[in-house]
Structure 1
Amino acid sequence: MSIYYKAPVRDLCFVIEELIGLQDYVGMEGVEELDAELVSAILEEAGRLASEEWAPLNSSGDRQGCVLENGQVKLPDGFIEAYKSFTEAGWNGINAPVEHGGQGLPEVIASATQEIWHGANMALALAPMLSAGATELLAQHGDTELQQRYLDKLVSGEWTGTMDLSEPQAGSDLGQVAARALPDETGDSYRLFGQKIFITWGDHQAAENIIHLVLARTPDAPAGHRGISLFLVPKFLVNADGSLGERNAVFCDSLEHKVGIHASPTCTIRYGDNQGNGAVGYLVGELNRGLNHMFTMMNEARHKVGVQGIGIGERVYQGALAFARERVQGRRPGGKESVPILGHPDVRRMLMTIRAQTEAMRALALVSAAYQDKALHASDSEERAAAQRRVDLFTPVVKAVASDWAVDSASLGIQVHGGMGFVEELEAAQLWRDVRIAPIYEGTNGIQAQDFTLRKVLKDSGETLEAVLGEIEQVVAELRADSVVSDLGARLKEGVGTVRESTRYLLENQEDPFVSLSAATPYMMQAGCLFGAWQLGRAALVARAVIERGGDGDGFYTAKLHTARFYMRHILPRVHAYTPAVCGGSDELEAIEERHW
């Protein structure tokens, strides 16, 4: 049984139009006519495809899963057709370059549609998510020949892309990558040998070709991260005229048996056949700078994993709310008759937690996407650089906090369903199983915390973060100037002070790496919790203005105001609870001798 899913178009439009503002996009090449009506139309159409074609396959795809038969991966029924509907409608290239067949729309619009796809069917949405990253990587680092031969088909979705990093001995530590790339006799290509694991959508029949982006070492490469190069390895070789040639020596040897996302083929990929022939690959970018180039795709994927968590959070909320409206159980205080469980305060607390966390991270993720657009398209170089610093600061937070909270929300969704949530008849359990991977892949959330703390805050002495805190204080001032929401401003101000206190402690103790590393996760969660409050504080100001004008006929803005108030009272206080962990030092972590663990 599949729960009903409706894309949160109005809330997405609210963030894009009210919190980000479309005026910044009017001057962008190719989107001069972008306005609220067009944004709404785009998202409504994405929502239609998602709810009518993708969402109904979510449960059936989970039950059926993927199968490897005779070296071929078979997808669940309906997935190939749903993917083709998606690509034929042009969604795959929504923000891709126009010169390669894309629509050239802003990243903020692409991110909004990504949330819709993941909310409808996370397993299926992983294919275009990775293809988008592969497209961006090739556009930035591929030479002219590679771009001409591969980009158009990746943009159209006729071909899909993968990210081939992990090996049995090299998971997060990519310095241990052992896959080999030997120069071909012609000097135009390489022959790759080795194995990669956990390759999402590594093989399937939904597209004509699969473009693997593979990290490997050449024979004379230095050890460690500095000796890794990046190669494009197609499943089928591509002729000079763009037609498909013979099958390359790249094979799926097995499929992983996973906790969730059963409809997403997670493959063990082998390069090289049984006759000793390697897979043909082509160098992308510079030798020994493969990891640097791959970060283009990895950072795109990290942001989208956060967006993925937000999409699942929205679907969890919709399913739990629908169940709470229908499930009659118990009486309200002072009541005499049984009522739907939506009437019980603790059920409402759980639902509001899911709702508030999802809306806060949705706003932060889209604001981060808007900064990506500014980093690419702002006319002033200093503005572009400043925007990129914001992207760098927000990306690990969006990835980690949104995905962690999505797991928490999915768990709460099961709790709202009670015993029915723990069985597989409803989707509540599946949503938890599916999203549980999000805090793990594309760099575990612990790695995101280290990146945020060491590279994005301490490395620039907290300057980028302090600029954000200054903007939050502007929101504080606006909230405190309005008697109706002044209490929200007071709470937000306290949160800013707490994050500053933690930042000061880490800056003062940054010479001791154990202090920073042990504090990284609580510190990032603390910052993410504050960033979410910042965005909902901004939403509250917009809501207050609309309500004052008498423009809230359907209660949308009133609900926004109450959601912000709930967040400030029930979720933002976590900021203060993280401080003892951030400032507590690392002594206890190192105190027990290894032999006594």
Structure 2
Amino acid sequence: MNHYRMPTEDIGFVLFDVLQAPAQLAALPAFGEADEPLMRQLLDEMAKFIDGEIAPLNRTGDEVGAQWKDGAVTMPPGFRDAYQAFWQAGWPALSAAAEDGGQGLPAVIEAVLYENLSAANHGWTMAPGLLHGAYECIRHHASDELKAAYLEKVATGEWLATMCLTEPHAGSDLGLCSTKAQPQADGSYALSGTKIFISGGEHDLTDNIVHLVLARLPDAPPGPKGLSLFLVPKFYADGDGRRAGPPQARPAPSGGSEPHEVGSVGAWERSAVFCERIEEKMGLHGSPTCVMRFDAARGWLVGEPGKGLNAMFVMMNAARLHVALQGVGLLGAAWRKADAYAAERKQMRAPGASQTSLISEHPAVQRLLQTQRAWIDGARVLAYQTAVELDIARHHPDAARRQRAERWCALTTPVLKAAFTHQAFHGGSDCLQVFGGHGYVREWGVEQHVRDARVAMIYEGTNEIQAIDLLVRKVLADGGAGLNALLAELEADTRSAGNAPAADALHALQQATTALAARCAQDATLAYHMADDYLRAVAVGLLAWAWTRIAANAPAEPRWQAPARAFRAWVLPELAMRLGILEGLAAAQG
């Protein structure tokens, strides 16, 4: 029961039957060869690797955890070997461009990969979780010299990367960051300051670590507009600083803190970046969350001075979809454990039964299990479609279609991140409930999913910040027109499929959005009171569309019919409840 198995059949149903992803991607010249047989082969190979190499390390990672000593971090047993096998097999490079050492495959394949890596071993998956965002950041904003030195190493996963934003006095308010970057005569910068909550800031998985660091130049103005982005490697070549510009790619060092001779090309030198400690956390014990000190560490500017957040947001937005997928994966893993337990455990007689029943036959347990299943299946549809839309936004030949895809991604990403991570924790707790007292005991494994899931509601922008981003920055910015246009398309799709309750719910959400926009135009503070409930209402509305698509393609069997009924009975009514709360808030504030 503790060993994860990737649900390839369910994933394939969503990709190929519900979303018809290969047909959507066929319109993109970049993915002409990404047909269904290839995608199915990738899913099979993915399952072999995750089930065989990553899932068995999960319990050791939780119980042993990452270990810090004298500035060095040793990962749990088996983690390094698994990671070396992971990058050498090409998994981190799935969606990176071929010219950068990648495979040039659709983003949706990478989405499936990270959903199931997180489900199998969330702690281990934190290490490569930022690679795609770091790759995009370097690719779009770094100089040609930096790209030559670092892009392929990050694209392939040979070197891991971090995102160094948070400081002890500056959590979500990045404008308070005070790390300094002092220009040097050779064109580099000396970075000084302390960053906290840095996932994978130090480890022994790879021979080098690429830190992307927000810092402030000497003449920078206060606030977020004064932040610039810098690349600071753990090791760099020709460390005496005599050569201007960044180091070119060299054979990687083997680790340690002393310079390493590399043939005739000079020496690798340890950067002045130090891990002062790792945090003792509620969960994610297999992932080192580091306090990193930069002592005039040598780095190079990425992008333009004062435009650090612009460059970093490329990384953060990619990370937010991956965090949403963490939520889907963790809830799915907890559900699979609970469902298996309920199918074996006998307790009391279910209503109408003549003898002791499996707890899966009790209505209370059925409600717990089927409600979470409704969230998992619907979430998978939305997350995979968002990944498809990312590729459409980049590669579709029609500008209007690219614009619609950009709208989808901008509006749905904060919703998916907040709603799915919320459900991973609270729904995971419901899955634990199925076990009764056994769920609170470590040997069954479900309590780890609940502990690991909690932090996903906090990092990559708290869920409250996601709600503000959705309502204040994206919906109200155009008076609700963009979101209502999307909701109208989804309403038409659900109505044409004959799902009147879902279509009516989406229509009510549009009306509420219009009314809310008008009220917020009169009171700028109102939106901040409403943001959380509004995001939740939008999430349920999107799920209504997703379940319409599932129902239109699902076979008439209990596997799909039971969660469909659960969605109608226990999930969809939440939309009306949230709209009622919004009405009450508007009246109270008015």
The answer to whether TM tops 0.5 is yes
Answer whether contact 1:211 1:232 (CA < 8 A) is retained.
yes
CA distance in 1: counterparts of 2:118 and 2:589, whole angstroms: 37
1:327-360, Cα deviation, whole Å (9 max, x unpaired): 1111122323212211111111111011111111
Say which SS state the counterpart of residue 168 (structure 1) adopts.
coil
Q: Deviations over 1:433-483 (max 9, x none)?
A: 000001100000000000111122111222221222222222332332xxx
1:172-187 equivalent positions in 2, closer than 5 A: 172-186=172-186
The residue aligned with 1:367 is 385
**What is the aligned counterpart of 1:490 among 487, 500, 511?**
500
Contact 1:4 1:319 in 2 (8 A): no
Structure 2 residue 337 is the aligned partner of structure 1 residue 319: yes
1:249 matched to which residue of 2? 272
Tell whether the 8 Å contact from 2:28 to 2:392 is kept in structure 1 after alignment: no
Q: Is the 8 A contact 1:533 1:564 kept in 2?
A: no
Runs of 4+ in 1 over 4 A off after TM superposition: 586-590
Partner of 1:507: 517
Give the CA deviation at 1:217. 0.1
Are residues 1:130 and 2:140 paired?
A: no
Checking the alignment, whether the CA contact within 8 Å between 2:232 and 2:299 is kept in structure 1 is yes
1:167 aligned to 2:167? yes
Identity, in percent, stands at 40
Distance 1:109-1:500 versus aligned 2 partners, 3 A rule:
same
Partner Cα distance (1:141, 1:242) in 2: 22
Identify the range of structure 1 (31-40 vs 294-303) with the bigger mean alpha-carbon deviation. 31-40
**In terms of mean alpha carbon deviation, does 56-65 or 576-585 score higher?**
576-585
- Which residue identity does 1:130 align to in structure 2? L
Q: How far apart are residue 27 of structure 1 and its match?
A: 4.7
Q: Deviations over 1:194-227 (max 9, x none)?
A: 0000000111000010000000000000110100
SS of the equivalent of 1:13 reads helix
Q: Which residue of 1 aligns with 2:348?
A: 330
Separation in 2 of the partners of 1:191 and 1:318?
Answer: 49
Q: Which of 287, 294, 307 matches 2:312?
A: 294
The one-letter code matched in structure 1 to 2:134 is A
Deviation of 1:114 (Å): 1.0
TM-score (structure 2 length as normaliser): 0.93
Output the amino acid matched with 1:170.
Answer: A
Q: Which residue of structure 1 lines up, in the alignment, with residue 222 of structure 2?
A: 223
Q: State the secondary structure of the residue aligned to 1:194.
A: strand
Q: Please tell me the residue identity of whatever aligns with 1:531.
A: L
Matched with 2:550 is 539
Q: Counterpart of 1:265?
A: 288
Is contact 2:491-2:545 (8 Å) kept?
A: no
Structure 1 pair 89–138 and aligned structure 2 pair: CA distance change class (3 A): same
Gaps of 5+ in 2: 238-246, 253-267
Match in the other structure for 1:429: 447
Alignment-mate amino acid for residue 500 of structure 1: Q
- What do the CA deviations read for 1:29-54 (whole angstroms, capped 9, x no partner)? 45322222211111121111111111
Partner in structure 2 of residue 594 of structure 1: none
The answer to whether structure 1 residue 517 and structure 2 residue 525 are counterparts is no
Residues 491-539 of structure 1 deviation map (CA, whole Å, 9 limit, x = unaligned): 2123113312321221111231221110000000000011011111111
Work out whether 1:342 is the aligned partner of 2:346. Answer: no
Cα shift at 1:560: 2.4
| Greater RCO structure (CA 8 Å; 6+ sep) | 2
- 1:52 maps to 52
Q: Cα offset for 1:589?
A: 8.2
SS of 2:570 mapped into structure 1:
helix
Partners of 2:2 and 2:378 in 1: CA distance = 23
Q: CA deviation at 1:132?
A: 1.3
Amino acid at match of 1:525: R
Q: Is the CA contact (8 Å cut-off) linking 2:179 and 2:215 kept in structure 1?
A: yes
The alignment status of 1:386 with 2:395, answered yes or no, reads no
Counterpart-to-counterpart distance in 2, 1:206 and 1:61: 14
Contact 2:148 2:248 in 1 (8 A): no
Bigger shift: residues 81-90 or 442-451? 81-90
Amino acid at match of 1:15: V
User: How large is the RMSD of aligned CA atoms in angstroms?
Assistant: 1.6
Structure 2 vs 1, CA of residues 154 and 208 (structure 1 numbering), >3 Å: closer, same or farther? same
State how far apart, in whole Å, the 2-side matches of 1:241 and 1:35 are: 35
Q: Is 1:80–1:205's contact at 8 Å kept on the other side of the alignment? A: yes
Which letter maps to 1:255? Answer: I
User: How many residues end up aligned between the 2 structures?
Assistant: 564
- One-letter identity of the residue aligned with 1:6: R
Structure 1: which 5+ residue stretches go unaligned?
273-277, 481-488, 548-554, 591-597
Alpha-carbon distance in 2 for matches of 1:334, 1:383: 54
Matched residue type, 2:294: Y
Alignment partner, residue 496 of structure 2: 478
TM-score normalised by the chain length of structure 1: 0.92
What's the secondary structure of 2:168's corresponding residue?
coil
Equivalent residue letter for 1:52: G
Helix, strand or coil at the partner of 2:6: coil
Q: Residues 390 and 252 of structure 1: is their aligned pair in 2 closer, same or farther, counting only changes over 3 Å?
A: same
The 1:362/1:6 distance shift into structure 2, 3 A limit, reads: same
Match of 2:306, SS state, is coil
Q: CA deviation at 1:588?
A: 6.2
Alignment of 1:90-105 (within 5 A): 90-105=90-105
Q: Corresponding residue for 1:595?
A: none
CA distance in 2, matches of 1:521, 1:435: 19
